[in-house]
């Protein structure tokens, strides 16, 4: 069974969940898919999906 992680903004005091409508960029590398999310607070979070 795979555990699903939900991307969350890690800006000080924010902690909002980063949903699909916040997904701004997706690109593939040899090490997995990178996803960049922009939070309503202006912070950008990049995740790696393997």
Under the banding of pLDDT at 50, 70 and 90, the label for residue 3 is: low
Listed by start position, the domains of the chain span 1-50
Alpha-carbon span 18 to 23, nearest angstrom: 8
Q: List pLDDT tens digits, range 6-44.
A: 889 989 989 999 999 999 999 999 989 999 999 999 999
Helix, strand or coil for residue 27?
Answer: strand
What is the pLDDT at residue 25? 96
Q: Where are the beta strands (DSSP E) in 1-50?
A: 23-29, 32-38, 44-49
What is the pLDDT at residue 2? 57
- Which of 8, 2, 50, 48 minimizes the C-alpha distance to 26? 48
Helix, strand or coil for residue 22?
Answer: helix
pTM, full prediction: 0.78
């Amino acid at each position: 069974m795979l555990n699903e992680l939900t991307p969350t903004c890690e800006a000080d005091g924010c902690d909002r969940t980063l949903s699909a409508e916040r997904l701004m960029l997706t690109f593939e590398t040899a090490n997995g898919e990178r996803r960049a999310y922009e939070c309503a607070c202006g912070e950008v979070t990049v995740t790696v999906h393997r």
